[in-house]
Amino acid sequence: MANHLRRQIREAIATAVTGLTTTSTRVFQSRVYPLERGTDLPGLLVFSLAETSERRTMPAPGLMERTLRVQVVAVARALADLDDTLDGICKEVEVALAMPCAALAGLAKTITLTSTDVELQGTSDRPVGQAAMTYEVVYLAAENAPDVAF
C-alpha cells in the first residue's frame, strides 16, 4: 500500500523546492528543531498544517475532496537586506510551486498560495528571519483509499 496522499503531496512539494538557487538542497520536512546556523541556512522547512474534507459522491465509500494546508518556511540569516533575501527565496518557491506544478501532477488538482507571514529576529549576532508561505492543496481520494488520487 502506498503512503497517504497527504504525505505524498508533502514529499512532492519538498522535491519541487529542492535545488532552488538560494536554498539548494537545504530542504527539511516536518522539522521541529531550529536549523543549524552554518550548514542549514538559508533553508526551507516543509510541513502539513491541517486538512479539511468534504464528501463529493454518494453512497459510501464516497469520493472526498480534501484541502490540505501545507507550509513552506524560508529561514535565512543576514547582516543586511534580510527582507530582500527572504523575498528572493519566496520568489523561487512561488515559481517552483506555480500551477501546473510537475511534482504534483497526478496527485493534486490545485495548489494555491494563500498567505505569507514574515518574522524577523534581531537577537543573535546576525539577524534571523523567516517567511512562512501557506499553500492550500486540493486533491480527491476515495474514503476507503486515501493513498490513491482521483
- Specify the pTM: 0.93
What pLDDT does 71 receive? Answer: 97
> SS in 3 state form for the chain?
CCCCHHHHHHHHHHHHCCCECCCECCEEECCCCCCCCCCCCCEEEEEEEEEEEEECCCCCCCEEEEEEEEEEEEEEECCCCHHHHHHHHHHHHHHHCCCCCHHHCCCCCEEEEEEEEEEEECCCCCCEEEEEEEEEEEEEEECCECCCCC
Peptide bond just before 100 cis, omega within 30 deg: yes
Q: Residue 3, Cα to own-chain centre: how many angstroms?
A: 17
What pLDDT does 16 receive? Answer: 97
**Percent residues over pLDDT 90 in the chain:** 74
What pLDDT does 99 receive? Answer: 86
- Asked if 24 and 100 touch (Cβ cutoff 8 Å), the reply is no
List Cβ neighbours of 132 (8 Å cut-off, separation of 6 or more): 71, 72, 73, 74, 116, 117, 118, 119
pLDDT in tens, 78-110: 878 999 999 999 999 999 999 888 889 899 999
